[in-house]
Structure 1
């Protein structure tokens, strides 16, 4: 009886959860103990099936209110099956000059989403890999809760 109740509860819940068919990936990786080390490079693999469409590629970061800086520098590493890996540095502005956090808050967590590529056309179909490496002076960088990738089909 309990199994049936659980099953039907899950089915009812799934009716209320909406799926965005334009989202190719929306994943986040927790940072252990909220301490992001240089060696911890959250990595995401995504399959691109249409190289003619445009995509928005976004980096997600959540931090606590105790994060000690107004910004965050991240090295973005990208690799495709037929492309060389390339890396570049991205700055995320997390706070205004007066110290007010710029992200959306949920309790003591602040969520930031920044565009990596806007209206981007991938060079080919296949598996692409995105890795994110913190590029601050502190190692470990404290109060980072999780890091993620979202790719939206335009």
Structure 2
């Protein structure tokens, strides 16, 4: 019994130590499909206003995802009311259709750069809101219900650059 408990604590310690640069991370599940205009929100307080951090968007998708790329609209709201809005495109599959990302099952996990070496200049609560901006070729209106994205998250890590 004690050996199993010690083994469990050792595994937890090793997993936690694998990414010692992480200062924040959270995932939110997408139930069924991701609706057009449906924002996934994350709030966080950065540890300081001096050091640089890398911010990642983390996605999990399964074989139901119908596209080889992904367009996102990401808003970063500062504590002082300022908002920075970005439209981003990420490649999700190779030209041969093989999914990018990590994972041995039908679910693949992608860690996508959002902001690199960003300093959060104002202390307080920040908000990141993410929504998809997918459209089919030749169609002006967006995809009303995006299937195949199972979870979306963000992670913030200390930047290696100083």
TM-score (norm 1): 0.86
Question: Quick check: 1:61–1:113 contact (8 Å CA) kept in 2?
Answer: yes
Question: Quick check: 2:34–2:145 contact (8 Å CA) kept in 1?
Answer: yes
Structure 2 counterpart of 1:151: 156
Question: Quick check: 2:27–2:151 contact (8 Å CA) kept in 1?
Answer: yes
Find the aligned partners of 1:63 and 1:88 in 2 and give their Cα distance: 22
**Matched residue count:** 147
Which whole-Å deviations, capped at 9, do the CAs of 1:100-143 have from their partners, x for residues lacking one? 11111231101111111111111222211111101113111011
The CA deviation at 1:66 is 2.4
Find the aligned partners of 1:106 and 1:125 in 2 and give their Cα distance: 40
**Quick one: which of 137, 144, 149 aligns to 1:139?**
144
Structure 1 counterpart of 2:93: 95
The CA deviation at 1:11 is 7.7
**Quick one: which of 43, 63, 66 aligns to 2:64?**
66
| Counterpart mapping for 1:1-154 below 5 A | 13-18=8-13, 19=16, 20-33=19-32, 35-136=33-134, 137-154=142-159
Richer in strand (by share):
1
Q: Secondary structure at the match of 1:16?
A: helix
**Structure 2 stretches of 5 or more lacking a match?**
135-141
Q: Secondary structure at the match of 1:104?
A: coil
**Structure 1 stretches of 5 or more lacking a match?**
none
The CA deviation at 1:40 is 2.6
Give the direction of change, closer, same or farther, for the CA distance of 1:142–1:46 in structure 2 (3 Å limit). same
TM-score (norm 2): 0.82
